[in-house]
Amino acid sequence: MTNYLVIDTSAHASVALIDSDSGNVIGERTSPKGNDQTETLSSYVKELLDTHSQRGQDLAGIIVGVGPGPFTGLRVGLVAARTFGFVWNVPVHGVMSLHALAERVIDAGDAPKEFLVASDARRKEVYWARYNNTGVLLDGPHVAAASTLDAMPLYGVGAGIYAEVLRELGATPVEASFDWIADARYLAPRALQLLGDGADLSDTSPMYLRESDAQVPAFMKKDKL
C-alpha cells in the first residue's frame, strides 16, 4: 500500500492520509478553527503518520491545496508541504483548494448540472468557482463580493455567510453545505484523477488572487537620496 499525505490550509488546517490505489481515507485531522494553522499543522501531520505507522520517506508524495485563501494560513500549508517533500525526498503536487468543495458536492449526490462553490475570502468577499456535475471546472477561481455572483446553486461556507444576499439575487445557497470548507480528504480525489491522467502538478505557487493586507508604507518605497 502506497499512501499520499494531503494538506490544505486555505481555510482550516486539514490533513489526510490517502491510499493512492483505492483513494480511501486512512486517517484525517481537521482543526475546528480557521486561524491556528501554524500551531496545529505539524502536530496533525506527526500524529497522523505515527498513528498509522507511516514513514514520511515512504509516501508516494504530498498533495497540497494552493488556494485561493488568505495569505498567512495558505503560506503555512505550502511551506510545510515543500519542507516535508524536501526532507523526505518525495514529490509535492499542488491542487486548487476549491476542487475539494466541488468534490464534496458531487460526493453528496444529485449535483446540479452547474453549480458554484464559495469559501470565505473575508473583506465581505468570497473565493468562488463554477463547476458542472462531473466536476469539470468551468470558470474561476475568482474573488468577488457575494452580490456579484450568478443566480444558481451555491455551496460552501461562503454561501452560508452571505446566504441572505445570495437569496435576494435569486441564487440558491444550499444550507446543508454552510459549514463546508476545503477538507484535505476531498482534495485527494481530484488530485489522484489528475495525476492518473498524467497532469503536471509540480507547481505549488499560491493562489492569493489579491494583494496582501500588509502593504509596504509609501515612504519605504521611495528611493533613498
* Inter-residue contact 15 to 6 (CB < 8 Å): yes
Closest CA relative to residue 147, chosen from 163, 132, 135, 160: 163
- Asked whether residue 84 falls in the same domain as residue 188, the answer is yes
Based on the fold, state whether residues 92 and 35 are members of the same structural domain: yes
Domain with residue 11: its CATH number is 3.30.420.40
Residue 131 sits in the same domain as residue 159: yes
- Domain span at residue 108? 98-177
Block residue for cell numbers 494552493 = 66
Is there a single domain that holds both residue 86 and residue 190? yes
How many residues appear in the chain?
225
Q: Are residues 27 and 63 in the same domain?
A: yes
Give the pLDDT confidence of 72-96 residue by residue, as tens digits: 999 999 999 999 999 999 999 999 9
C-alpha to C-alpha distance for 186 and 197, rounded to whole angstroms: 18
Asked if residue 80 belongs to a domain, the reply is yes
Tell me how far CA of residue 175 lies from CA of 159, 166, 220, in angstroms. 8, 12, 47
Is there a single domain that holds both residue 86 and residue 21? Answer: yes
- pLDDT at residue 36 in the model: 79
Mean pLDDT of 143-163: 97
Query: In whole numbers, what is the pLDDT of the chain averaged over residues?
Result: 92
Q: Residue 119: inside a domain, yes or no?
A: yes
User: Do 57 and 128 belong together in one domain?
Assistant: no
pTM: 0.91
Mark whether 57 and 121 lie in a shared domain.
no
Local confidence band at 39 (pLDDT 50, 70, 90 cut-offs): confident
Q: How far apart are CA 141 and CA 105, in angstroms?
A: 17
Q: How many domains does the chain have?
A: 2
Q: Is residue 165 part of a domain?
A: yes
What confidence score (pLDDT) does residue 210 get? 78
- Does residue 55 form part of some domain? yes
Helices (H), the chain: 37-51, 71-88, 98-108, 157-161, 163-169, 184-196, 218-221
Do 216 and 194 form a contact (C-beta atoms < 8 A)?
no
Are 134 and 70 within one domain?
A: no
Is the sign of the CA dihedral 47, 51, 54, 59 positive or negative? Answer: negative
